[in-house]
Amino acid sequence: MSGSDASATTLGEASERETLKRIFPRLPESRSTIVGPGDDAAVLAAPDGRYVVTTDMMVHGPDFRWAWSAPYDLGWKAAATNLSDVAAMGAVPTALVVAIAAPASTPVSDLEELADGLRDGCAALAPGCGVVGGDLSVSDTFTIAVTAFGDLEGRAPVLRSGARVGDVVAVSGMLGAAATGLRLLFSEAVDAAGEPDRARFERVLAAHPETVTAQLRPRPPIADGPLAAQAGATAMLDLSDGLALDARRVAEASGVGIDLDPGLLGDDVEIALTGGEDHGLFAAFPAGAGLPGGFRAIGVVVPGAGVLVGGRPFDERGGWDPYIGWDGHGG
């Protein structure tokens, strides 16, 4: 079979074994692997007897659109969104398990590109983290599910429930860039019927590369998660659904209020508060503690409940919910 013929082969034409033979060499290796892909299950080292585990799905439609995302982008983002959840516990990401359900008409080359995105995302964001297994299946709707594992390296996990009155609230990573990119896509990269359009997408990407790329290929500050744990962070989570929504989760879990300083949230306070999918880190630190890595102060933990902005209650839900989209207006 020629190279061009191989590139055109679909999942419906290739066996699972043939597909995996093309994908496995492209996937990143994990430093924690004892037994990798090829057996019924992988075997990983758990150096301190514990491991962090999380899982996340991306489904065509609510989570991504092929007119806007290349397979490489999807692989990168699938890695990034899971790596950031591990980092938010204060752990170092070590391994991913990836399951994919795709239409039979999907070219095998698309899965190769997706594997390249997984590989490069892990290499850039969490060197030493690799893919140790997974599954392939057929579905009318393209779906990727990733399970990620992490090493606490002897530290206690950083939970959402430990914030204390007087703590400094800080973030690492961007606020609102990914949401800005998504708003541009929904407003300018669609046809007259409101459907995603590839040609218009290319023009939007060329005009707004930073914000569109922040949405399609986020770069969360993974290394800052373990640094925060080492610096004594009392609470932490991944900013996946929006600052106000995620800060409220910490406030509720900790039984405190969180007062955000609007002067520290950037030029567009509204999108910083209600945008999502930047996958930065939100953490609380004891007053007077040095902020590690790229963390910067944006507020303080106060008595009471919920989220305040400049001392005033912020009751808007804000952020992303997969069942109702952005801020209740549909996804």
Rounded to 5 degrees, what are φ and ψ at 254?
-95, -10
Flag whether 56 is marked binding.
yes
Could you give the C-alpha distances from 129 to 31, 121, 267, 285, 317, in angstroms and in order?
7, 10, 35, 27, 35
Determine the distance from the C-alpha atom of residue 224 to the mean position of all C-alpha atoms in its chain, rounded to a whole number.
14
8 Å CB contact between 158 and 238: no
Q: How many CB atoms lie within 10 A of CB 67?
A: 16
Flag whether 54 is marked binding.
yes
Flag whether 135 is marked binding.
yes
Q: How far is residue 86's CA from residue 274's CA, in Å, rounded to a whole number?
A: 23
Q: How far is residue 207's CA from residue 188's CA, in Å, rounded to a whole number?
A: 11
Flag whether 246 is marked binding.
no
Flag whether 55 is marked binding.
yes
Flag whether 5 is marked binding.
no
Cβ contacts of residue 5 below 8 Å, gap of 6+? none
Listing DSSP states for 269-298 in one string gives HHHHHH-----EEEEEE-TTPPPPTT-EEE
Single out the residue of 297, 295, 281 nearest to residue 91, CA to CA: 281
Flag whether 75 is marked binding.
no
Question: How does DSSP classify residue 30?
Answer: P
Flag whether 191 is marked binding.
no
Flag whether 241 is marked binding.
yes
Flag whether 63 is marked binding.
yes
Q: How far is residue 5's CA from residue 70's CA, in Å, rounded to a whole number?
A: 21
Task: Give the CA radius of gyration of the chain.
Answer: 20
Residues 307, 294, 238, CA angle at the centre, nearest 5°? 45
8 Å CB contact between 258 and 302: yes
Binding site residue list: 40, 54-56, 63, 85, 134-135, 160, 238, 240-241, 277, 320
Binding site residue list for ATP: 134-135, 160, 240
Binding site residue list for substrate: 63, 277, 320
Binding site residue list for Mg(2+): 40, 54-56, 85, 135, 238, 241
